[in-house]
Amino acid sequence: MSKKTIFITGATAGFGEAMAKRFAAAGHSLILTGRRSDRLAKLKSELKAPVHTVQLDVTDKNAVNQAVSSLPAEFKAIDVLINNAGLAMGMGPAHTSEMSDWEQMIDTNIKGLIYVTRAILPGMVERDKGHVVNLGSVAGTYPYPGGNVYGGTKAFVHQFSLNLRADLLGSNVRVTSVEPGMAETEFSVVRVTLKTKKDKEAYKGMQPMTPDDIAQTIEFITTILPEHVNINTIEMMPVMQAFSAFAVKRQG
């Protein structure tokens, strides 16, 4: 297995942190970004691998371009981009949701993802090698009450990933959309606790996936799977999560 240079957004918690630890343990070089500089510094100190950290808000297009263009020489040839930064805000119905929550999800989950992709993808195409991994969600495929804009942003991630594959036909650049179901991370705290103080209730009586479950899957598709094979989409759920019946509102 050749050593790769891997760029991970949203690396300070959850899936991103778990991926950083797995890739570092395998000896890969890492570019880790996140908004919390203290967490980036702590994570870097714990990893036994070449690491370059960048405090970065992916919604800032100019900052993204500056971060990529100013990478140290030994980190410039990015082999794997993992667009992990994302969030969900609020769980209310569309007619009562906060517009600021909707805007933040669109800015991060869609615009931030395309800013980073557009900054890094040309180098991959020029070198004729690379892998873009986009973190989607089962919410992009299956609707549920309160999923409104969040589900819409993840549907974008799914379709954008497939369209990248179409654009990149003829090159050796791979693209994968990884779409998890229930996984216990800070994600639920951001989405639920700030609103209802009940973030743990979503996992009561069942075993959700862990960040390392997702990290292990991404490690496999990016560094172990033969490079002539492209996984277009991976949909993942814990065993105790499946598809609900159609919702019917009955009178009386």
The catalytic residues are 150
Of 42, 58, 23, 18, nearest to 186 (Cα)? 18
Interatomic CA distance for residues 252 and 249, integer angstroms: 10
Name the residue with tokens 């950083």: 20
Report residue 57 as tokens: 């808000």
